[in-house]
């Protein structure tokens, strides 16, 4: 990543707290061995190594400072950065990314913290009269293989996926502007209850904070993916089953993109799903600036979720091998 030639996806794993409604407290399936130095965890006697491994006791502030704050420094310099939350429903993806509102500062997630840091830097730049930099945000949803501009005048009409970069950008001048923007977008999201989590969202959400100056347009993308669990566990038929298939198509495609890159292939199958088409600009090298990304893999402490936990850890492990090569091209 250093030196601007290669960029890497960094991987962190975060264990969710116990879900209250599961009753009796069993020991977590995830262990954090004392020798791990905060970088490894053990599940079913297998040890997994990542850039960070967080037990459920670690709070939002630490996760932000370790993973995301260094990316904010890059965004201000004109880099494209992405923070992506992956994992089963109910494991804290939306909580970590800060998609929901909260009154308690310790619960603030990535999004409000990123904005606050970016606004601070931009106002310092203005005081120093170093350029006319402005901050905007866009909010898109990918649902059932279609992308929607949640801040646009027609939030229920699908966009052409390849034109998602032309979606509506609203100015963020103050921290308070974020909440009204999220309320507007969230109100337009499609939420469908499932057996797993009554408020589970069945779609992928991408909130982008844009920093525009006369010399660059950089982006911090905050991606809250739909639950990675298989359709078999959501218990829906018909339309909802089709949604499940499409949610998995997006996630499978991310897997395929990551695997292809990790294997050093020159043709990367971005166009296999709307999600990867939209993310292509963010995970590929689109400017002379290096792309920097963080994947937060969220896992459950519960034994009943073990197979999903293992599949999330496998995904994280393959993503770890990812090194973007500037010669790689999109199909
Ligand atoms: P997901 O988006 O992965 O489906 P959520 O972010 O909605 O999961 O989390 C499910 C519930 O657990 C929410 O009520 C959330 O506030 C809570 N939660 C998740 N992670 C944490 C955490 N680390 N600390 C406190 N509460 C959490
Ligand atoms: Mg969620």
The verdict on the CB of residue 94 being under 6 Å from ligand 1 is yes
Average pLDDT over residues 268-276: 72
pLDDT at 112: 96
Please state, in angstroms and rounded to a whole number, the distance separating the CA atoms of residues 212 and 136. 8
Q: Which of 15-24, 83-92, 198-207 has the lowest mean pLDDT?
A: 198-207
CA distances to 86, 174, 321, 323 from 207, in Å? 15, 17, 26, 24
Res. 214: pLDDT tops 80: yes
Give me the chain's average pLDDT, please.
Answer: 79
Residue 154 Cα, ligand 1 centroid: separation in angstroms? Answer: 30
Res. 83: pLDDT tops 70: yes
Please check whether residue 210 is in contact with residue 169, taking contact to mean a CB–CB distance below 8 angstroms: yes
CA distances to 39, 51, 52, 81, 110 from 67, in Å? 13, 9, 9, 11, 10
- Going by the DSSP 8-state scheme, the letter that residue 4 receives in this structure is G
Please state, in angstroms and rounded to a whole number, the distance separating the CA atoms of residues 152 and 111. 20
Q: Which of 177-186, 258-267, 283-292 has the lowest mean pLDDT?
A: 283-292
Average pLDDT over residues 188-204: 55
Candidates 72, 75, 64; CA nearest to 109 is: 64
Which ligand places an atom closest to the C-alpha of 312? 1
Interface pTM, i.e. ipTM: 0.99
The verdict on the CB of residue 95 being under 6 Å from ligand 1 is yes
pLDDT at 193: 44
pTM (predicted TM-score): 0.86
Which ligand places an atom closest to the C-alpha of 17? 1
The tokens of 99 are what?
């998609």
Res. 115: pLDDT tops 90: yes
Q: Whose CA is nearest to atom 24 of ligand 1?
A: 17
Please state, in angstroms and rounded to a whole number, the distance separating the CA atoms of residues 155 and 148. 6
**Burial bucket for residue 108 (CB in 10 Å: 0-12, 13-18, 19+):** middle
Please check whether residue 141 is in contact with residue 158, taking contact to mean a CB–CB distance below 8 angstroms: no
Structure confidence at residue 8 as a pLDDT band (50, 70, 90): low
For the chain, the residue count is: 331
197 or 1, greater pLDDT = 197
Res. 176: pLDDT tops 70: yes
**Burial bucket for residue 27 (CB in 10 Å: 0-12, 13-18, 19+):** exposed
- Going by the DSSP 8-state scheme, the letter that residue 291 receives in this structure is E
Res. 20: pLDDT tops 90: no
30 or 317, greater pLDDT = 30
Give the bridge partners for 54, in sequence order.
14
Please state, in angstroms and rounded to a whole number, the distance separating the CA atoms of residues 87 and 311. 9
Residue 109 Cα, ligand 1 centroid: separation in angstroms? Answer: 11
Percentage of the chain beyond pLDDT 90 is 38
Residue 287 Cα, ligand 2 centroid: separation in angstroms? Answer: 31
Q: Other C-beta atoms within 10 Å of 136: how many?
A: 18
Structure confidence at residue 7 as a pLDDT band (50, 70, 90): very low
Please state, in angstroms and rounded to a whole number, the distance separating the CA atoms of residues 203 and 225. 7
Average pLDDT over residues 61-72: 94
Residue 210 Cα, ligand 1 centroid: separation in angstroms? Answer: 26
Percentage of the chain beyond pLDDT 70 is 71
Average pLDDT over residues 98-115: 93
Please state, in angstroms and rounded to a whole number, the distance separating the CA atoms of residues 43 and 46. 5
């Amino acid at each position: 990543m250093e030196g601007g030639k290669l960029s890497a996806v960094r991987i962190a794993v975060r264990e969710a707290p116990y879900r209250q409604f599961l009753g009796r407290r069993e020991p977590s399936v995830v262990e954090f061995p004392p020798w791990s130095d905060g970088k490894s965890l053990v599940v079913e006697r297998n040890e997994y190594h990542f850039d960070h491994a967080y037990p459920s006791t670690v709070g939002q502030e630490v996760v932000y400072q370790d993973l995301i704050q260094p990316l904010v420094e890059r965004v201000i310099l004109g880099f494209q950065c992405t923070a992506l939350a992956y994992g089963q429903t109910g494991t804290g993806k939306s909580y970590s990314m800060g998609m929901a509102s909260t009154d308690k500062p310790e619960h603030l997630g990535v999004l409000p913290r990123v904005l606050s840091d970016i606004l601070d830097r931009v106002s310092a730049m203005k005081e120093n009269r170093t350029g006319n930099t402005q901050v905007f945000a866009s909010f898109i949803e990918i649902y059932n293989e279609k992308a929607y501009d949640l801040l646009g005048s027609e939030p229920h009409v699908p966009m052409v996926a390849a034109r998602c970069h032309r979606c509506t950008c609203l100015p963020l001048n103050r921290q308070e502007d974020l909440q009204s923007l999220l309320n507007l977008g969230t109100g337009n999201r499609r939420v469908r209850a499932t057996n797993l989590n009554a408020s589970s969202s069945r779609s992928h959400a991408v909130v982008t904070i844009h920093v525009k100056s006369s010399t660059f347009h950089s982006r911090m993308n905050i991606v809250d993916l739909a639950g990675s669990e298989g359709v078999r566990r959501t218990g829906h038929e018909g339309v909802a089953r089709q949604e499940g298939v499409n949610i998995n198509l997006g996630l499978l495609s991310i897997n395929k993109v990551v695997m292809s890159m990790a294997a050093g292939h020159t043709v990367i199958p971005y166009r296999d799903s709307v999600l990867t088409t939209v993310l292509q600009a963010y995970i590929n090298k689109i400017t002379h600036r290096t792309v920097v990304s963080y994947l937060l893999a969220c896992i459950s402490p519960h034994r009943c979720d073990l197979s999903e936990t293992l599949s999330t850890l496998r995904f994280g492990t393959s993503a770890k091998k990812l090194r973007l090569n500037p010669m790689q091209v999109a199909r």
